[in-house]
Chain A
Amino acid sequence: MTAFIAVFGRDLRLALRHGGDTGLVLGFFVLAVVLFPLGVGPEPGVLQRIGAGIVWVAALLAALLSLDRLFQADYQDGGLDLLALSDLSLELTVVAKCAAHWTASGLPLTVISPVLAFAVDLEPEAIPVLMLSLLIGTPALSLLGSVGAALSLGARRQGALLSLLILPLYIPPLVFGAGAVETSLTGSGAHAHLLILGALSLISVALCPWASAAALRQALE
């Protein structure tokens, strides 16, 4: 347990110390969302229809941006070898790192999303559902992203490869997360979508560490 907390704390401190990381993610998130109203035009109603989707897609892309720092730095300076040799199993190490990644990127995204809801003209009643959907769904994004980051360690074009690998896997959280906000606005209630989103996150916690650890072991061979 102490080892788990140690890894989590180390990764969190590193992410916050290079304060640029969290700031970069948030800055990208805000910019990406702001581009859509500028591109789509000022006509009322258009933006409202697609607002939740825009916020969710921007959250996906922002999560993708910060994924390469998950394993890359440790892989390059040898820290990953030490973590693999330590008492803490590689699967739990992955969970600790993903938890730190989520705290430094997914959680700030969730907190800042109400501000962006105004940028995309989303109805105020939908904001709590948007925040809840992001809160439930972003852990899945961090965990699925860790699988892609582990698989593409040491590849020639790691950034582009990571996006190609991860975005298909991100489609279910996107569909159910944005869908939750849609259904809450149309009145049929967001419960089903949020429950499935929660299921996706739980499945990710259960299965992704095994896939990521297997990929890390291959990278360290």
Chain B
Amino acid sequence: MINWLANPARFTRFSATVLPWCARATFAVLAAGLYLALVRAPPDYQQGESVRIMYIHVPAAWMALSVYLFVAVTSAIALVWRHPLAEIAAAAAAPVGAAFTLVCLTTGSLWGRPMWGAWWVWDARLTSVLVLFFLYLGYIALVNGFDEPSRGAKAGAVLALVGVVNLPIIKFSVDWWNTLHQPASVIRLGRPTIDISMLVALLVMAAGFLLLFVTLLMVRMRTALNDRKAMALRLNAAPARARVATADRGGAVQPAIR
């Protein structure tokens, strides 16, 4: 599949067919998830109705980590196998991941104010997710920081792999340190400790967020490929346009580009 899609033109054709269905599926699953989360799921026995922020906060956190893993894996593929679309996929995914991280931090802060009495605490989980957010920003700055796009993409690939060490730290921070953030209730050894009525809504919302990521990724990759085509066309047309311009001015034909 990955090698089949390596041809940019084939990927563009494939995504042209798949994208509308992905978008519709995203809309449907998110609508169903929001209905389950806001209407059908029960209020928490301690937190009451404000537990419903969890249905945004937790899937956003899962996506923030997964998207970074995706960026790291595609970066590794780009460095090792020089897959043509891998760099584009990594650069396209990073801003989406940064947005998920920001949503996670913001909703967490909004949830923490009524629950813990604080907008922010410097415990291990929150600090390491903030570091993840800065890693995303650093990656985006690095990829866009060079005049030559391919140099930026390769440098970003190395940075993504260096930063992947943060992912286990985030995941296990609630076990290794005494944190205010609650320990894992879903992805843990042994069965999830969350009630099934809430777990269903949570998983549907997570699926919706995943579909959202895939849709946005495809849109961004198609845009990046179109950007490349436009740039190539512009560069190819430049000598011809310049020759036309100098001929119009009636002067002798000169070298167009110095």
Contact A218 B146 (CB under 8 A): no
Most buried by B among A147, A151, A161, A214: A151
Cβ-neighbour of A171 out of B131, B138, B158 (below 8 A): B131
- Confirm or deny: A185 has a beta carbon within 8 angstroms of a beta carbon on chain B: no
The yes or no answer to A157 lying at the interface (CB within 8 A) is yes
Shortest CB-to-CB span from B160 to chain A, Å, is 11
Query: Please, which residue of chain A has its CB at the minimum distance from the CB of B139?
Result: A165
**B158 proximity list for chain A (CB < 8 A):** 147, 151, 211, 214-215, 218
> What are the 3 tightest A-B residue pairs by CB atom distance, in nearest-first order?
A168-B134, A155-B145, A218-B154
Chain A contacts for B115, CB-based, 8 A: none
24 contacts between A and B (CB under 8 A): A151-B142, A151-B155, A151-B158, A151-B159, A152-B142, A152-B145, A152-B155, A154-B151, A155-B142, A157-B145, A164-B141, A165-B138, A165-B142, A165-B159, A168-B131, A168-B135, A169-B162, A169-B163, A211-B158, A211-B162, A218-B151, A218-B154, A218-B158, A221-B151
SS class of chain A's interface: helix, strand, loop or mixed? helix
**Cross-interface CB contact of B127 among A165, A171, A221, cutoff 8 Å:** A171
Q: How far is the CA of A154 from the CA of B141 in the complex (A)?
A: 14
B147 within 8 A of A: yes
**Chain A hits for B137, CB < 8 A:** 164
Given A164-B138, A164-B141, A218-B155, A156 contacting B147 (CB threshold 8 A):
yes
Contacting pair B146 A155 (CB below 8 A): yes
Cβ distance A164 to chain B, nearest Cβ, rounded Å: 5
- Taking a contact as CB atoms under 8 Å apart, the answer to whether B145 and A147 are in contact is no
- Bound complex: CA A169 to CA B141 (Å): 15
Contact residues in A for B146 (Cβ distance below 8 Å): 154-156
Interface members, chain B 120-141 (any A CB < 8 Å): 127, 131, 134-135, 137-138, 141
A169 to B139, CA, bound (A): 13
**Is A219 in contact with B145, judged by CB distance below 8 angstroms?**
no
Q: Report whether B134 and A167 are in contact in the complex, using a CB–CB cutoff of 8 Å.
A: yes
Q: Hey, which chain B residues are within 8 Å of A155, CB to CB? A: 142, 145-146, 152, 155
Q: Which residue of chain A is the closest to B152 with respect to CB atoms?
A: A155
B24 → chain A closest CB, angstroms: 38
Cα–Cα, bound, A157→B79 (Å)? 24
B110 at the interface (CB under 8 A from A): no
Bound CA span A41–B166, Å: 37
Residues of chain A lying within 8 A (CB to CB) of residue B161: 211
Q: Across the interface, do A164 and B155 meet the contact criterion of CB distance under 8 Å?
A: no
With the chains together, A221 CA to B142 CA distance in Å? 17
**Are A164 and B134 in contact, CB atoms less than 8 angstroms apart?**
yes
B132 to chain A, nearest CB (A): 8
- A157, B145: Cα distance in complex, Å: 7
Contacts of A221 in B (CB 8 A): 151
Residue on B with the closest CB to A211? B162
For B152, what are the chain A residues with a Cβ–Cβ distance below 8 Å? Answer: 155
Shortest Cβ distance from residue B141 to the other chain A in the assembled complex, whole angstroms: 5
Residue of B nearest to A218 (CB): B154
Q: Which A residues lie within 8 Å of B135 (CB)?
A: 168
Tell me the bound Cα distance from A156 to B79 in angstroms. 23
Residues of A within 8 A of B145 (CB): 152, 155-157, 161
Q: How far is the CA of A215 from the CA of B131 in the complex (A)?
A: 22
With both chains docked as a complex, state the minimum distance between the C-beta of A54 and any C-beta of chain B, in angstroms.
16
Residue pair B155, A215 in contact (C-beta under 8 Å):
yes
Q: Say how far A141's CB is from chain B's closest CB, in angstroms.
A: 15
| Highest count of chain B CB atoms <10 Å: which of A152, A164, A168, A175 | A168
With a cutoff of 8 Å between Cβ atoms, the chain B residues found around residue A215 in the complex are: 155, 158
Residues of B within 8 A of A147 (CB): 158, 162
Chain A 190-221 residues near chain B, CB threshold 8 A: 211, 214-215, 218-219, 221
Give 5 new A-B contacts, CB below 8 A, not counting A164-B141, A211-B162.
A152-B145, A152-B155, A155-B152, A219-B151, A221-B151
Cβ contacts under 8 Å, A154 to chain B: 146, 151
> Which B residue's beta carbon lies closest to that of A157?
B145
Chain A residues, Cβ within 8 Å of B134:
164, 167-168
